[in-house]
Structure formats: C-alpha cells, structure tokens
Amino acid sequence: MNLNYIVTTCRNNSVDTEKDQIPFEQEHDEEMPFVNLYPKHGYQAFEGFGGAITEAAGYAFSKMSEAKQNEVLQAYFGADGNRYRFARMAIDSCDFSLGNYSAVTDSGDQELSTFSLKRDEKYILPMLRKAQEISGEPIEIMLSPWSPPAFMKSNSAKNGGGFLKPEYRSLWARYLCRYVQEYRKMGFSVTMLTIQNEPKAAQRWDSCLYTAEQEKAFLRDFLYPELMKSELKDVQVCIWDHNKERVFERAEAIIDQETDKMVQGIAFHWYSGDHFGALRLTKEVFPDKKLIFSEGCVEYSRFDGENQLAHAQMYAHDIIGNLNAGMNVSLDWNIILDEKGGPNHVGNFCEAPIMCDTKNDTVIKNVSYTYIWHFSRFIQRGARRIAASSYTDQLEITAFQNPDDTITTVLLNRTGEKVPVSIRLEGQLASFCVPANSIVTGLIS
C-alpha cells in the first residue's frame, strides 16, 4: 500500500506543486503524530464540484481568443483540470450581469407568450455549450432566481429587495418552470432549482425578500404544484440559498410532514462565517436532504485583493469544514471574471479563481484555483466521506473513499511552521511533513 501525495506551497502569489510517493509501513505502538483514517465508518456521498456561469463570466469569456477560451474550460471541466460537473445559472439578471433584465417584462402577459431567453443566448449559453463539449458529459445545472420581474414585486424594481406580490405567485411559479423547460429543450441537464437567492437580503442589486413562512407557502401552494403539472417531478428543489448561520432555522421552519417530499436540498453561502455546527445540526435533523454550498467568493469590498494565499486558504478551510459537516455538492461563484473583478452592474467587484485579462488575452489562475483542484480533481463523483481524526489543530483534514476504493485525504496547514504527520490506516503508517502554509492531497491505493 502506497501514499501518493501532492503538495502545493505558495510564495509571492505563485504556487509550487510537487508530487511524491512513500510506502506504508507497519506501526509499532507509536502514539504521535497521527492522522487516523477509518474507511469502515462512512458518512455522506459527495456528488461533485462546480461554479457559476453568470453573464459577467460569459462576457469576459467572449472577449478572449478561442485558444484562451479553451484553456479556461479545460482548466475547469477538462479531465486534467478541476473536473467540474455542476454549473449554477442565474434566472434572469443578478449583480454579475451587464444590467437588469427579465425573460418577460409585459405585466399583461399572463400566458408567458413573450417569454424569451434572448439575453442568455448572447453570452451565457455559448460558454455553457463549450463547457459541455469539454466536459464530455452533461453538466448538471442549478437555476437560481435573484429577483422576479419588476412588475411582480412590491417595490416595482429588480433591485433593492421588495417582496413578490401575492397575486403574482402563480405566474412566478410558472415562470420558474418555464426556465427549466426552456433550458432542457436546448439539451441542458437542469437538476436543481433554488426558490430564491439570499431571501433575507435587500441588496442594491437584483434581490427579493422571503420570510420562512412566505418561502414555505410559495413552495407548497404554487411552485410544487406547478412542477408536478409541468412534469418536472425530477427537479430537486433547494430552500434557503443564503448564509449558514440561519440554515437550520430556515430548514426547521419550512420542512414538515407536508412539505418534506417537496424539498430535496438546502443551499447555503459562506459570507457570514464558518458555522459548520449549524450545517452539522441540519444534516443530523434532516439526513435525507442534500447540503449544497451554492455560493462563495472573495469580495474586494471586504478583503485584501493582493493576498492570494489567504484567499486560497479561505476556500480550503471552508470546503473542509463543509465536507466534514455533511456537504454533498460544492458550487463556487463566478468561474471567471475580467481584470477588474467584473463586469458588475452595481460595482460589486469580486475575485474568481481564474481571472481573464481581456485587454491582453491572458488567463490568470489564482492560488485559490489550485487549492480547489486539490479537492475537485481527486475526490471522485460518488465518493463517501470516511471518519478521520487528527492529533493537532494545526492540520485541517477530510477524507473520502472513492468508488474505485482508493482513498483521498486532504490536509491543510495554515500555520507558518511545518507539521509532521503519520497517516495511520489499518495498522499501517505513512509519515511525512506538511510544509508551512501548504495544502496536501494524499492518494492511497
């Protein structure tokens, strides 16, 4: 039995990745410094990684040469890249759009006869089609609305929050189902639908507020019946789609004996902190619901845009914590952005793991891209998380047994000192040092 491991260190925002192999040896009653792996004791199955293809991503993509477009998509969806198999798409506009838009703008169109995805066809769908070609298999899509059309809302605007007017709940449910149907007609595999992106936030961009009671009523009385009527029974409906600190309360408020069959997943973001305990509690109380990380990014308004290592460590820390709390799917926010961190129609610029300098036709892989690679490249679809323990809090760890029976373990060291470790598995040890400020993926076969 051998441990093949890949180590990435970072200096001056540049990564150095090395590979090595060491054999396992028989242990002799040592007590330190172990990381224990217990493959006989498993938890949730993991379905894969992905990211969002927004209009901003599609626009930046369109400004690149064909060679650079291929480089980006191979990096994310190719067999030698991050092996993404999911994409999140906004229903109508979001902040990472060139401006507000809706598929229907005529308040008198109760039959959705003017419904059009012409805007998506300009930048979003061309990128998605090319990604699917690179992937070689259907990319599973999550659709998420930021705001209904302005005429359906209490504030008569896409931006600034407001509520869905009660008289438009039926039409909005049909609108959402129409989006799924139109994407499927074009050959895209829409498997998930969230009810509302960030339902507790009245943002200066596209947004809409739902209380737990409103979200539950809309799901129970309008969206679920319309999904059944539209023969979309296989669409997995995900509630919440907001930060982790209130994920359990929202699930508890919405899921009851009547609505249990209507909810397949609970989506969450990272912007309010770790809250891994809230995720773990949600998984314990609702074990049959998927936990789906649906958005996270490094916002320039909150974080130093120059500290690439810190950003990458944020990603890895959150992925490990979410996985260990029961996460089933992990979706990053924009997969690419331009050199400014946009475009964004309200100036809410952010960082993406890959940035595209559209003026110089240059692809820039940030350190966070490689840190995500350490997970997404090696944790296979259908892998099962296994029990693990560590002798020190200097190492953050997670471990999975893949469908081919190989074991993948990821170790994160966010300290400035190297940390010795012995991977202990069924009486065998493989010992090495985890360098300072590094991430390590170990493959055991």
pLDDT, position 305: 73
pLDDT of 202-255, one tens digit each? 999 999 999 999 999 999 999 999 999 999 999 999 999 999 999 999 999 999
Instruction: Determine the residue type at 1.
Output: M
Residue 365: beta bridge partners? Answer: 354
CA nearest 355: which of 27, 8, 60? Answer: 60
If DSSP codes are grouped into helix, strand and coil, which group holds residue 264?
coil
pLDDT, position 271: 97
List the 419-425 sheet strands across, edge first. 14-23, 2-11, 438-444, 407-413, 396-401, 383-390, 34-46, 419-425, 428-434, 25-26
pLDDT of 285-304, one tens digit each? 999 999 999 999 999 989 87
Give the class (CATH, top level) of 2-44+385-444: mainly beta
Q: Which residues of the chain have pLDDT under 50?
A: none
Tokens of 260: 């249990």
Query: What is the architecture of the domain spanning 48-381?
Result: Alpha-Beta Barrel (3.20)
Supply the DSSP symbol for 138. P
pLDDT, position 90: 98
Q: Where are the domains of the chain?
A: 2-44+385-444, 48-381
pLDDT, position 29: 83
pLDDT, position 170: 98
